[in-house]
């Protein structure tokens, strides 16, 4: 998400950035106010009423659907800051204005009818075997309203099959999953592109997914992987964006990741926040967009590359998995920041293990259970 130039004048407010140690984290309220119709001040209030960070933007409206849920304690804390004149309640129109597309987007990317920028897709049957080209085509027929389809790897002929099945107005967010097979994976992508499309069909290529968050690799190692990927992609004729996807909290805790990608591609799931209900998923995701943007000093646009809600599994605090709550959460995300979000996932992944809280299989937006 693009924000205006960050104003760092100490006369406005001192900024302190919170970086929670774990994946779960406390919910934060955000208060915005406009001073003299020129400067919009956005202050994040911590769970105990403390000021966590402040961002001032000139000639811009910074919207936040979470303002409507601001607690009286947070509002009181904000009032103690002399520069915060009043708490602003955002509307759907101002949220839409704030959710600008990233610099890598084409002018038509905002004309999506699905309500979100894209959706993720995995080409596997319930037993883990590869879906046929016909099955992939059938799956993609339900995804025609999304401008971006995100894939994670190159196995199962998925790049080839999705290229053949996608609409002419759709682009692919491609991924290299195995870091010991970067060049081979890019060769597979290039071959599929040569036979069934062009590099214009590619929105972004990711080198890895959640490598730092998983504890598998360090920031320096990821930097090396991205460099290898860039080199191979350039040699293959690709000139578009290259990123390494990680979680929002991994970026906040490891800001060195900010310099590696052409824009910040981060995964953020409100279900794993103990204090966030389905109806608040959108405002929570929007808050993570701002936190990542702030962690990267406002230098990089932010795209949420995974976000959704499980339809089955264990209740986790205020987060209750159900099909109805999944629909509520998805609607909230679309309303708050859909232009900057790729939904997770198109269909349930029955081939996966149950995972934490028994939710891993059940994120399918187009699945019936």
- 23 versus 128: the higher-pLDDT residue is 128
Per-residue model confidence (pLDDT) at position 189: 98
Tokens representing 190 are 């290039």
pLDDT higher than threshold 60 for residue 220: yes
Tokens representing 366 are 């187009």
Per-residue model confidence (pLDDT) at position 113: 66
Q: Of 232, 269, 221, 233, nearest to 249 (Cα)? A: 269
Q: How confident is the model at residue 50 (pLDDT cuts 50, 70, 90)?
A: very low
CATH of span 118-343? 3.20.20.80
- 68 versus 265: the higher-pLDDT residue is 265
Beta-strand ranges (E) seen in 29-144 are: 29-35, 39-45, 51-58, 118-120
Rounded to whole angstroms, the Cα distance separating 29 from 52 reads 10
Tokens representing 122 are 């995995």
Name the β-bridge partners of 138: none
Mean per-residue pLDDT, 62-70: 34
pLDDT higher than threshold 70 for residue 21: no
H or E element, residue 38: none
Q: Catalytic site residue 306?
A: yes
Helix ranges restricted to H, the chain: 72-79, 92-98, 133-140, 158-165, 182-196, 219-235, 248-253, 281-295, 323-337
Mean per-residue pLDDT, 133-161: 98
Q: Give whichever of 30-34, 36-40, 273-277 has the largest mean pLDDT.
A: 273-277
Rounded to whole angstroms, the Cα distance separating 208 from 273 reads 24
- 71 versus 301: the higher-pLDDT residue is 301
Rounded to whole angstroms, the Cα distance separating 224 from 238 reads 19
Among the listed residues 50, 58, 210, 306, the single catalytic one is: 306
**What are the sequence ranges of the domains in the chain?**
118-343
pLDDT tens figures, 251-298: 999 999 999 999 999 999 999 999 999 999 999 999 999 999 999 999
pLDDT higher than threshold 50 for residue 188: yes
Do residues 188 and 142 touch, judged by C-beta distance below 8 A? no
Q: How confident is the model at residue 315 (pLDDT cuts 50, 70, 90)?
A: very high
Q: Of 314, 320, 247, nearest to 278 (Cα)? A: 320
Do residues 319 and 275 touch, judged by C-beta distance below 8 A? no
Per-residue model confidence (pLDDT) at position 112: 54
The model carries a pTM of 0.74
Cβ atoms < 10 Å from Cβ of 115: 16
Mean per-residue pLDDT, 297-303: 98
Q: How confident is the model at residue 49 (pLDDT cuts 50, 70, 90)?
A: very low
- Cis-peptide, bond into residue 345, ω within 30° of zero: yes
Mean per-residue pLDDT, 346-364: 97
Mean per-residue pLDDT, 65-83: 35
The three-class DSSP label of residue 349 is: coil
Task: State the residue for tokens 């950035």.
Answer: 17
Do residues 312 and 359 touch, judged by C-beta distance below 8 A? yes
């Amino acid at each position: 998400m693009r924000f205006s130039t960050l104003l760092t004048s100490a006369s406005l407010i001192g900024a302190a950035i919170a970086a929670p140690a774990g994946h779960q984290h406390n919910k934060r309220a955000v208060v915005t106010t406009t001073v003299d119709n020129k400067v919009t001040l956005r202050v994040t209030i911590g769970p105990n009423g403390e000021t966590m960070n402040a961002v001032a933007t000139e000639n811009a409206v910074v919207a936040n659907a979470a303002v409507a849920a601001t607690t009286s304690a947070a509002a009181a804390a904000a009032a103690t800051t002399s520069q915060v004149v009043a708490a602003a309640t955002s509307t759907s129109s101002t949220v839409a204005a704030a959710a600008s597309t990233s610099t890598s987007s084409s002018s038509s990317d905002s004309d999506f009818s699905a309500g979100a920028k894209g959706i993720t897709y995995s080409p596997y049957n319930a037993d883990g075997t590869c879906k046929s080209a016909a099955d992939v085509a059938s799956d993609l027929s339900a995804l025609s309203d999304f401008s971006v389809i995100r894939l994670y790897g190159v196995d199962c002929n998925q790049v080839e099959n999705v290229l053949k099945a996608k609409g002419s107005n759709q682009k692919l967010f491609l991924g290299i999953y195995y870091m010991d097979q970067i060049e081979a994976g890019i060769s597979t992508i290039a071959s599929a592109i040569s036979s069934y499309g062009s590099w214009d069909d590619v929105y972004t290529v990711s080198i890895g997914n959640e490598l730092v968050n998983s504890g598998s690799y360090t920031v320096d190692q990821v930097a090396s992987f991205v460099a290898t990927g860039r080199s191979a992609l350039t040699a293959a004729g690709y000139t578009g964006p290259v990123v390494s996807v990680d979680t929002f909290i991994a970026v906040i805790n490891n800001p060195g990741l900010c310099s590696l990608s052409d824009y910040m591609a981060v995964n953020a799931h409100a279900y794993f926040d103990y204090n966030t209900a389905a109806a608040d998923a959108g405002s929570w995701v929007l808050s993570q967009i701002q936190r990542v943007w702030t962690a990267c000093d406002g230098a990089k646009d932010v795209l949420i590359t995974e976000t959704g809600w499980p339809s089955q599994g264990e209740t986790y605090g205020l987060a209750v998995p159900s099909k109805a709550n999944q629909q509520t959460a998805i609607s909230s995300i679309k309303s708050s920041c859909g232009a900057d979000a790729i939904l997770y996932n198109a269909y349930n992944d029955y081939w996966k293990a149950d995972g934490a809280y028994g939710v891993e299989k059940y994120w399918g937006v187009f699945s019936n259970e």
